[in-house]
Structure 1
């Protein structure tokens, strides 16, 4: 599952490659998506590459190849129409705002119940942050013995940045809702009130570090006012095919 911004960027790159055979520059991508810095484009590109949608071509500047497109676009995302540079150099995707919510509600296990039906939300990035879409139509049955006190919810994992903690792409993690956690705890972190990610929490002074469990990924550091704890990891389910 791609975020809306990832889909917009992927479609923009694909359209530019088809039109001229050359991928757009980071500055062009930044302007096209209305982002303030190229670092945001770098994160989107890395996320698309990680999920197998694009490939960087070695020894060639600005060389990107679209490997595949999503089988189905998220609601409200359509293939953009890129205007000719002579008339309008800025890419303006036609996007209808989706119903994205950052706060994730949970469900509490009560009494002697053997199983609890927990809300199952969209895929959470164990790589780069993605928007979390609240979807009350999906749920998953969890043995009550896996849950402690308080409310819980489930999330599907996308990415491989937590593999050394035993969390793989496609796993379902069980999260206990809380607004604080000890250093070293694997948490669901809400970044800038818009994105969520699954990482290990590290605090130092007024900074919060979101630490991956894979040496191929960098620890990201934020001011304490930019990160809110949405819950902590208490269980994991894995389906073998």
Structure 2
């Protein structure tokens, strides 16, 4: 049997064995003492829970970072055009500048800018766009307020249903409603009640009495009322594309409709809203 060399050496020399064992014991005791000293040292001992690392300050966000690249480009294009010419660009100009295939793409970009408070659409005017603010740290500019004389009213035809619209388009008599005269300008006007919440993002609530001015056909993306031959009333954003008319709700969950232009028997562009609180 083979025996380790160290064991044979220690067995032959008792004094050497004792000396070796004593050296090992001293070495172990010295290391234990050093470890205990390090643990008791106030500079090296860690007491209490580990401190969390200080958080880095959040980077300053670009004021326009919430916009998509296309929305940002369109906002700059509208702002530059208004600053240069004093007139907002048309849908065709915006479509060409953004490299889009149709005007519906421009309408989606404008809707996003409007919902985020960068652009305001002015009703009853063509090319009616206004840059409200250029960054999120700016407050929206207040709407101009004009005093309205509520004492003076005028009776305006009230379209309660598609049947009323058909009768009104044919020259028949229907019911009326009193509207402040200050809201009525030139031309023929009528009122319809908003039946649902499909135009809520554009500021029209269910139950609002919406005043319309009768027109032959609406301009691009006007909010208007269309009465169809089948007796339907539609209050939508209206866009003509060839022989078809696109009826788009402001609520993205509502399906966009397309109707033939010859099915429209009555059209009106929005002129005001009458809302009763309480």
State the TM-score, normalized to the length of structure 2: 0.40
Which protein is richer in helix relative to its size?
2
Identify which of structures 1 and 2 has the higher relative contact order when contacts are C-alpha pairs closer than 8 Å and 6+ apart.
Answer: 1
Which protein is richer in strand relative to its size?
1
In our comparison, the structure showing a higher alpha carbon Rg is: 2
